[in-house]
């Protein structure tokens, strides 16, 4: 890790950025796609709030739109799971994992708005931060496992290298 970092620094600012873009591509892409998914969620939420939908129903509708967007972007752009033979199983696992975080989102939303009297927007931002973190963990560890098993790349691979060095792959 230290050698890689030293080499990246020696390449200058552009080389340094390229090094981190390659080394942490998956995590960077997840954050970018997660941000876009959050935009989809909030855009749908704002639209239906404007139309007068109750915040609990609105959370469900917003979730459905965001999950559809997230599945496609996570499958193809983040985790690069290109084989369509895994499409159905990945989709079922993805939607199941997202259903779990929907329940968490609804619980946080109800607790903060109804029980604690917090405003809707601070509540939704708080909830979505927790949801985004848990969604990454679920996608990485349970949904797109065939990609991780064959590629040996991504954040878990990088974390193993950071902790144990390159020899851990032997």
Nearest one of 118, 128, 115 to 44, comparing CA atoms: 128
pLDDT at 166 over 80: no
C-beta of residue 109 within 8 angstroms of C-beta of residue 124 = yes
Please, which pLDDT band fits residue 165 given cuts at 50, 70 and 90?
Answer: very low
Over the stretch 14-62, which tens digit does the pLDDT of each residue have?
877 888 788 888 889 999 998 899 899 999 999 999 999 998 899 889 9
Only one residue has tokens 């985790």, namely 79
Q: What is the pLDDT, as a whole number, of residue 146?
A: 65
Name the DSSP class of 110: I
Give the CA distances from residue 151 to residues 7, 79, 80, 90, 161, in Å, rounded to whole numbers and listed in that order: 24, 10, 10, 17, 14
pTM (two decimals): 0.66
Hey, where are the domains in the chain? 25-153
């Amino acid at each position: 890790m230290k050698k890689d970092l030293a080499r990246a620094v020696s390449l200058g600012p552009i080389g340094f950025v390229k090094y981190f873009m390659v080394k942490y591509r998956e995590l960077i892409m997840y954050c970018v796609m997660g941000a876009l998914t959050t935009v989809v969620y909030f855009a749908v939420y704002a639209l239906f709030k404007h139309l007068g939908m109750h915040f609990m129903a609105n959370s469900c509708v917003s979730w459905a739109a965001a999950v559809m967007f997230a599945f496609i972007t996570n499958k193809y752009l983040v985790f690069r799971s290109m084989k369509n033979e895994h499409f159905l199983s990945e989709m079922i696992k993805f939607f199941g994992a997202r259903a779990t975080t929907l329940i968490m989102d609804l619980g946080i939303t109800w607790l903060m708005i109804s029980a604690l009297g917090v405003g809707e927007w601070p509540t939704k931002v708080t909830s979505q931060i927790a949801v985004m973190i848990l969604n990454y963990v679920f996608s990485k560890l349970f949904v797109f496992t065939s990609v991780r098993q064959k590629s040996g790349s991504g954040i878990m691979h990088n974390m193993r290298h950071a902790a144990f060095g390159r020899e851990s792959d032997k």
